[in-house]
Chains A and B, each alone.
Chain A
């Protein structure tokens, strides 16, 4: 997945002619990139048919983590607005979708989209004060939002069910009559189990979110976001409306968290305030850091690695070590930040540019030798 980072970057061929005009670069996808994408697609679509249903369920939840991490990466990685409160927006999305489905019988994907829209608005509202607060202070304010969210859910227990949780039930045909049953993604195909269908729906939503996010990052708006992160003054002098861009980015980053939260709620079937504590926000940050902050594919890779670590690796540990899983993760994270601060994608990029540099040097040496 990492090679796609370079798929649209323009390779300067140094073909400067006499007039000093460089010809427009060739933008075709290189064959290895296409091959890589085909492999990724085949594996992603094929996996649920090879794994046990509970694994497929876990993978569905990794995908929601990936979408939320993409949103956080947009906001914090690319735009430099540090948010430790993304878990609250994830929770808001979860409760929005959950309530819409449980109380208003809204179609599942419509509810997920509505969760995204509600979180977009919430993100814009949080983004307004964030124009005045920066860096560490913004981190603290968003931390407060994350801490308050579960308490707010408990406060409105008549609507949210409080600590009892919100059970998402829909009217479903069951044993010959319509009854409220736990929400499910009913597979429309014979031979495709519900959990497999759910996974494929989640995968499709993830792919769409990934493509749209990637489009945004590679556009002039994406450049504006990075310019604001690195140098707000330079951005403004270049004509970038700093405040508007930051608020929109907060909105879009939050909308992705909302979509992720909505999917997560429908995946779990019952949601509790305790599902959306501060640790969820930390998980998103961890996923972004593992995969590579401010890289397009980083958050997805980070989310998958983190999910696999938590759901696959930790249960394999001997019983005495189980309670120490957070300590193990923390230790591994420290090691990663020390040896590969750019995350998985960042490390690949670094290796790639080192290789290119070595080739260039070798070419210079060769021509010198001749």
Chain B
């Protein structure tokens, strides 16, 4: 299982545009994507905008994105980049 621990940089947190961008990329991945907060919250389905919104990740909070399978490292890199984009 691959993981990326990233700090969410967007002012609005992982909501609205960042959340939509994240989920849109996650949906393209063939494998399951999960997102959780290290100190409680989740894991939730990274392909669900509702689940990501419910996770309620604020600016400056850390999330762990997980995936496994062929191509998962590349997917995780891209998702980590989206989540850490201001």
A, B co-complexed: no
